[in-house]
Amino acid sequence: MTAIWRKKSSLLFLAALLVFQIPVFAAQDDKDDDEKKKGSKDDVEAIGDRDVGKGMNFYSLEKEIALGKALAQQVEQQSQIVMDPVVAEYVNRVGQNLVRNSDAQVPFSIKVIDSDEINAFALPGGFFFVNTGLILATESEAELAGVMAHEIAHVAARHGTRSASKAELANWLTIPLIFLGGPIGFGARSAASVLVPLKFLQFSRGAEREADFLGLQYLYKTGYDPYAFTDFFEKIQAREKSRPGTLAKAFSTHPLTPDRIDAAQTEMTTILPPRDEYVVSSSEYDRVVDRLRVLQNRGMVDGATEDKEDRPTLRRTTKAPDDGSTPSSDKTEETEEDKDAKPRLERR
């Protein structure tokens, strides 16, 4: 009997110990989760202080910038760069604002390519190109910023050189041929119709998901509506189904599949803290899009200007008054450009 009682007592003691220890273990797990989240890729507040480019990489940041510069020169030699100051400055400003709210460790050079293809791509080292076709396909500044944020995330995570490093392990001749301009290195055309090694533009599914994950955070931190990212890609893919060929290869080979859309929407509801308002668009975006359409119609996207030296300056006057006095020509109507370029906000 004594042995049985001792056995029961031991079981009761063990049960009581487990009951009291469970909250302790749970609290420890919560503490570990909090510590793991702080400063991690889930921590939006730590953007800019995180190292999201970890992983095997044979390139230092200096070599990555030098490589990107060489590739960018190839792109510019074979593309028509938009030199119009209004369009170029606006796109650069939108992009640089996103860069300031990202984890990127390199400065960015952002230029616009005159191409109807809906595309944008960022080379290693922060050399970023945006097609006019993409700008005209968007319906708001937030949609344009969403695509740009995704590409900035590829650079911040150093996907290009990390991918090239893996390729070098598989074929150590590939990288040297890139620097020599050999046929293997530059043997494939990118979406911009220029010769760029595909290893720097095509990424694995994991890299694309990571760029989605980080890009949404950069979009959010800059103040834009993060839902504009998924909205734009769903709309573009619907257009591609009805009008095949409008998407560049870089977009069509890595579509925003349903699982990526679901993951992005989950992130927006769980990772991103809620806000009352987001920036959707601005009057400046509208003016730039209108200007770009006009320039394309006139064939002036490359920055050429019309000859205005021999043209008179005209001014619309008011209707002559009945008393015979001279009508005033000083009063002009307020244009959209005279108004403050205030962003359009939307409540969620």
pLDDT in tens, 268-286: 889 999 899 999 999 999 9
Q: Alpha-carbon distance 209 to 200, whole Å?
A: 16
Please, what is the Cα angle at 306 between 303 and 307, to 5 degrees? 130
The backbone torsions φ and ψ at residue 38, rounded to the nearest 5 degrees and listed phi first, read -65, 120
Q: Please determine, for residue 79, whether its predicted confidence score (pLDDT) is greater than 90.
A: yes
Both tokens of residue 125? 């080292």
Closest Cα to residue 155, out of 38, 272, 72, 238? 72
Supply the pLDDT for residue 164.
86
Q: Alpha-carbon distance 58 to 180, whole Å?
A: 18
The residue type of 108 is F
Q: Alpha-carbon distance 149 to 8, whole Å?
A: 63
The per-residue pLDDT for range 237-269, each reduced to its tens digit, is 777 677 666 555 555 545 566 778 888 888 888
**At which residue do the structure tokens 């119709």 appear?**
193
Both tokens of residue 116? 């109807």
Mean pLDDT (whole number) for 35-46: 77
**In the chain, at which residue ranges do the beta strands (DSSP E only) sit?**
109-113, 120-123, 127-131, 277-282, 343-347
Both tokens of residue 37? 């989240």
Supply the pLDDT for residue 288.
97
Supply the pLDDT for residue 346.
63
**In whole angstroms, how far apart are CA 233 and each of 78, 80, 112, 254, 272?**
28, 26, 20, 11, 20
Question: Percent of the chain beyond pLDDT 70?
Answer: 61
Closest Cα to residue 199, out of 156, 237, 154, 233? 154
Provide the greatest CA pair distance for the chain: 126
Provide the CA 103 distance to its chain's centre, in angstroms.
12
Closest Cα to residue 148, out of 158, 163, 138? 138
Closest Cα to residue 236, out of 98, 155, 120, 157? 120
Q: What is the pTM of this model?
A: 0.70
Question: Where do the H-state alpha helices sit in 223-282?
Answer: 227-242, 249-252, 258-270
The per-residue pLDDT for range 141-181, each reduced to its tens digit, is 999 999 999 999 999 999 999 988 888 777 654 444 444 43
Least confident of 62-71, 276-285, 306-315, 326-335: 306-315
Cross-strand partners of 110? 128
Q: Please determine, for residue 60, whether its predicted confidence score (pLDDT) is greater than 80.
A: yes
Contact 64, 124 (CB under 8 A): yes
Supply the pLDDT for residue 151.
96
Both tokens of residue 67? 């490589």
SS3 248: coil
